[in-house]
Structure 1
């Protein structure tokens, strides 16, 4: 009887299987994190840097990722695994939510299939081993969607709690990544299309959901208002609809093909094919319609974005939770058992290969996959080269070390955290190329005339080196350093000593320096 009662609440054999594989794979991912020699890539280093100064928002992202890094590094320190620790745990939580959504809408078998496909999704595999904004956004979107699908079967106080939970989870998703707005678009679309959906939202449940949402999001909105909505402006700027290469078929095809890679070839084909086929035949069930309202907007909007300008593969990630549940449900409904097994086996093989490459980067070089890992290599060594060059100068003679690349700034801030600005050593600063700051480093740590008396200037952009040199009254000869990333690729930097920082005028229209004098001469 106890077993039967547990089954009523979802604790059946499928739930136990989901819990077992989720815990098992999460442990494997945690072991991989602590055993991998790969370094933080620059965006991860930037998030770590944000976590040193807790706030309600940052230049390009909401605050959740910084809060998570602060929490995990407070436990174990600032080493790479502890910076990334939250990611596999967040995806484990999302997997359990995916099971709950699938079980509520289609039954425990479909919930199990959805959880397995999500846990092994290539995008999730990658996201579990880096620290970024997607992992926390997906968890809170999954919690929000789980509350939403539970609402119709709930009454009284439980329905009120679920409504408040829905609003709070949606607000937390916004604190993770503003792409959570796709969830509001999905909700609005579902309420517009489905009369049954509108019935469950009384005045009280609507007020509770909205109040919880605004209560969670209000501090970030206040921060944005106080900072000229810089994060919103940066997010909008990423769209880049004013570029010269509008209507780009190559970008469109690249983005669509990338979705087969990050979502999984079979599940994505099932999702797209099933949506088209069942819509044409008018065979969508109410649960299908709900999930399609949540999955379709990010996929369609970002696909349009890729055609007009460009789009990264993960920009449609807000639709992955609903999409994977829908794909799994259709595979189960169509009794496509071998296709489902094939999808799981294929994605498990890709996951195993990826883990092997993360543990042993030379394997990636052997397999021709070195380019995929180059952003997580060489930063510590380059930082050491910069620090060693600075140490060759007389003690106290340098007023700053300045770089012209935001990736290098972020990585140097992390890997040079025990050197720059410590024990009398020069601080790390960012040379501002244009008339106005274009990123967080240029906004918060610009090189100024006050700190520009005698500077070790480091240029990773060959085209910028002459412009950077022109901002000093005198410069020394330059030194070139290279760091090998693999057998074919290397990272190159030019260093020189600049005396008396006096920025040359910038063009009022382009914001760029008005002229480009010769680079410092090589000795």
Structure 2
């Protein structure tokens, strides 16, 4: 194994780093509260992905028809405690962002001082994936913590060679993979570094890989069993997401260009922070006492790292985006901008290639700049997605009148089925979710009238206690699915409700509803319960 004696902090250095833990936790807690509270106040409805996870949290499954299960697992646990308020999705997304940043800091403490590790963590925290897009609770945002944790354990396993680190590496990689299969691209970067450093010739490293593979397969086993039972549905969905399917307008080069420019935009807050700290430092240096002739400038932080550590940061950090672009170019597949959510988690450390000087001073400047940027971004996002979008009549998820529509649907249900609670809504995920999450006691969604897509109904008769059937074309749906249309045709009562998106000039939402009444045995039970 490669030695890390030149970079592992001494006990004294570790002791000096203990107060840093407090500042790390303080920043992370502040970030979570800032974003979760402002989004919870400003948003009337969550984003589509957030709503999808709320709907999927109706049951604990080993897989779902579109994706592997981990995000729905966590949301299932949270909704078991708090119900399904929309603010919960913003809180959950930010909690996972904070957890990922914690592992970024822990990784940095392996090869540099706690303060310098905090500088890197603060820098990367303002990228869109750790801030704005962390309010979107989906497979991309939830995967970040396990990707960074895998990177941390991978570093420790290679540096120290302990069996426990290899076992934890396999477990973390397993969690990353059953969060989203795109974790393979990060594993490929791990493999490149493994080859580059010649570990394939090291028997101890190969034994460690075997241990990691063991825990990886143990974590995967239940989901793999589920995949066999369900005809590998998520894999087919993933395949359809990346194949252009003969689109004559699709161009590989333009798609790659759009992908890269979008990533640059999402990294831009970090670049702004770097520029601000750089200018601040230059101005402070110009006002300082003149440097004596012959004095040597302080070395850049990267110079304090071993060649092995620099190679690790560059290959493992940049590898995922380069491999993704290369594969897309060769195979001609599409690139989704959000797929890069985990590709830049180590980019905060690249500031070491230009940072120099007193780390206390540099940390203070970085912290001030980052906190200002975080506050401005959070406030701007909340205002833009909240009152500004509302009063300009923009058609956004955040201003969708889900609660008002739900209340209208509940009134309709009570008028036609008095005494029986509304427990099931047959609709698309977006409309059905917006109706169901505001029902008390809670209602489930019969997604597009499909039992395959609604596993929480697999052990019940969905027709027994009736259902509300609804569809609309003014949101994420292009119309009712064939199954929903069939259920609508069976409805005993039908009607239409209308609701403006926000202001009188905003789009008009027309919801077609139908009610399939409960069967007699459900009515008897409801009467007995009263």
How far apart, CA to CA, are the structure 1 residues paired with 2:106 and 2:93? 20
Conserved in 1, the CA contact under 8 Å of 2:399 and 2:501? no
Residue of 208, 216, 223 corresponding to 1:213: 216
Shift of 1:256: 2.0
Shift of 1:113: 1.9
Conserved in 2, the CA contact under 8 Å of 1:390 and 1:456? no
Aligned to 2:500: 483
Aligned to 1:321: 345
Matched, 1:193 2:196: yes
Single out whichever of 79-88 and 226-235 deviates more from structure 2: 79-88
Aligned to 1:412: 435
Conserved in 2, the CA contact under 8 Å of 1:144 and 1:169? yes
Single out whichever of 44-53 and 373-382 deviates more from structure 2: 373-382
User: What does 1:508-519 align with in structure 2 at a 5 Å threshold?
Assistant: none
Single out whichever of 239-248 and 32-41 deviates more from structure 2: 32-41
Conserved in 2, the CA contact under 8 Å of 1:365 and 1:486? no
How far apart, CA to CA, are the structure 2 residues paired with 1:131 and 1:27? 16
- Secondary structure of the 2:344 match is helix
Aligned to 2:52: 46
Shift of 1:119: 2.4
How far apart, CA to CA, are the structure 2 residues paired with 1:10 and 1:237? 52
Matched, 1:257 2:280: no
Aligned to 2:512: 495
- Matched positions, count: 469
Matched, 1:63 2:77: no
82 and 401 in structure 1: CA distance in 2 versus 1, 3 angstrom threshold? closer
Conserved in 1, the CA contact under 8 Å of 2:71 and 2:179? yes
Shift of 1:477: 8.7
How far apart, CA to CA, are the structure 2 residues paired with 1:194 and 1:203? 13
User: What does 1:233-272 align with in structure 2 at a 5 Å threshold?
Assistant: 233-244=236-247, 245-247=249-251, 251-267=255-271
42 and 30 in structure 1: CA distance in 2 versus 1, 3 angstrom threshold? closer
User: What does 1:15-414 align with in structure 2 at a 5 Å threshold?
Assistant: 15-32=21-38, 35-154=41-160, 159-195=162-198, 199=202, 201-244=204-247, 245-247=249-251, 251-267=255-271, 285-303=307-325, 308=332, 310-325=334-349, 327-332=350-355, 348-357=371-380, 362-365=386-389, 374-375=397-398, 377-393=400-416, 405-414=428-437
How far apart, CA to CA, are the structure 2 residues paired with 1:454 and 1:250? 46
- Secondary structure of the 1:143 match is helix
Aligned to 1:7: 13
TM-score by length of 2: 0.72
User: What does 1:435-454 align with in structure 2 at a 5 Å threshold?
Assistant: 440=453
How far apart, CA to CA, are the structure 2 residues paired with 1:340 and 1:369? 43
Gaps of 5+ in 1: 271-283, 422-427, 501-523
102 and 466 in structure 1: CA distance in 2 versus 1, 3 angstrom threshold? closer
How far apart, CA to CA, are the structure 2 residues paired with 1:380 and 1:185? 45
Pick 1 or 2: higher relative contact order, CA cutoff 8 A, min separation 6.
2
Shift of 1:58: 1.3
213 and 476 in structure 1: CA distance in 2 versus 1, 3 angstrom threshold? closer
Shift of 1:21: 2.4
Aligned to 1:515: none
Shift of 1:54: 0.8
RMSD across aligned C-alpha pairs, in angstroms? 4.6
How far apart, CA to CA, are the structure 2 residues paired with 1:146 and 1:496? 51
- Secondary structure of the 1:479 match is strand
Gaps of 5+ in 2: 1-8, 275-305, 518-530
How far apart, CA to CA, are the structure 2 residues paired with 1:200 and 1:38? 57
